[in-house]
Structure 1
């Protein structure tokens, strides 16, 4: 597209002076070269080097090239898409009424603005504008992001809708033994209602999706027009576009905000507290009700919690000294004072690192450690995988590590995190219940949650616990999903997203959001407790494995499992 603003000396025209034009292909590369030719087909000025391409490529040989002096400058213009035309008279805008803040063509200026005190030529004031594209462009980008967010939530809602309907069937069947014969009638009735609700809700979501796709297309088209004008247009054209499109941009932004309502769907079915056999046909009495609610508005607000990561330090984990194999840090956690504890599964060691990721303490273990959690200022607990035990170590302020005690357990555990001052939340290995509670004395308990009956082999799932909301987070590596279980309500949110691929380690991040190590994409992904993806950060390591966050949520450390190039990296967290 030709940029008539690329002229040299067009504002100080002197008789006899020859106007020069810059080569536009070079301008796109931030280089200034005087143009020699003008291609009316490409609608741009070119130097000899660029114009010679027309003689090389067959597809360009039909283009019409003329010298710069022969170019019809008047016909060279930015595609304004009629933004520079008066709606009433279809004449080009030439004036701006500063009294009424309106663009005017010559007829408007005479007919409608004769009594106005300040009607000025656009050409004279357009050059005074500084970065007119920034405000409109940012507004449109925000509107586009909002529209894309709605699109993602619609897709997620459709998946969640099916999951919720399946969960209703499971819940209904679970009550069968308690209500005996009548429960068969209830199941049939609820199933029909659920199918009707699913069909109606799906129709509404599809309609919403169609509306959103149209809006997204409008926003994208408007954004492309704005970017094109403010990239290639003259100051006057930029000024016109700003004045002409401001109301349209505001309208698009408003629509985007309105669209961010009532999109995400969660459906559940709860029985009445008092369940009695009624003297009515089951079709007239159902001991429960469907609930429809939208969580998108809360997710939009939680988007403000999206974090940013800044690299602080990085170390390579190389085989040294008495190491049997390349180090593999399967467990890491921050001590309250900012030091880091790490366990090496391959070489059966425990290490202490200072804030600069310098090794300041080590201890040889007699077992293969799997995961580690800091219990107090000077105590850590380590799971042993197939060892049927949890080991406790003392880590002094002087970085000395000594064995403290052993708790025997009856279950094989992989991941471990603190639930409170007296209990752990632990992820199981090869067990039908994926997560359990273990006290600091070794007593094993189950959550009052109906977890799906799925067995996770070692290194296929990780768990963490959110204390503030009493929620358990479980990753499923090969299903590419994350399940967030609400212990209080016995409900769950199943999170699937293109950014979540092979999730492994999980940790609680700033504002109690959830951080995931995604092996397949080499990223740290941040999601809200509602399941919205808030941020995704590409890290400089292959196959991230474990992640931990400091007590004050200001630092993050991640390790990986890539054979031959294992690392440990530290990041500063900001929001």
Structure 2
């Protein structure tokens, strides 16, 4: 058979008498919170032992039908359990009937022939009464492990939420830093344009004054040259002497004006320069942003 019959006395009672000691079944939901509390009822549909406190939440919040029976008053028919082939020898496909203590191995009637020289081969039917307390302890251990697995799953879900939130946060942080840099550049540009405009106005004025002064002295020179040409061509020696002497002072004045205008330096071109910190920043390329990771892996991820 692929299934075995377990009597109610082996599963559904609150406890079994082993010699003079009593094994009490604990409430399984309480066990998940590390609380030891005796079970008073059993849900056949969920295969779960419950105390009076956990019974109502189990019925209300857990989906499905719930056949709740009182452990002490449970007199129902024996349950048939499908052992899923666990009670069959995988090698000989026969029912397991023996246990070899020497090799810690379950044996069928064919396997036991191989272990006939072993010192202790027990018939399972005779020693099975000792298995219930051990199985109950194992079940309670598994319940605790299940609770730990649930905690790990909850941690994973929280970690996934944290990862999603942190990735959304770092994106907004990068955008914020970008906007700050752009605003800083805009502010610097406005200040720079204002200063450049003031400089342009001053330089334009200087150039205009220099040009006006030079234009006036040029007109004066033209007048003097015109008169000088007439005196040289048509004037008498006396007239040439007088005119030559009279324009000596004017020449000195003209030379002084020309000299002063030459000393005035004007900027023909204007350039812009950037700080070393900014040029160093630009030389970094996209590596100025780093992704920091506080997981189990070592090192930092870098945005290359």
Higher-helix-fraction structure: 2
Larger strand fraction of residues: 1
Q: TM-score range by the shorter chain?
A: 0.3 to 0.5
Larger Rg: 2
Greater relative CO, 1 or 2 (CA 8 Å, sep 6+): 2
Normalising by the residue count of structure 1, what TM-score does the alignment of the two structures yield? 0.22
So what's the TM-score if we normalise by structure 2?
0.40
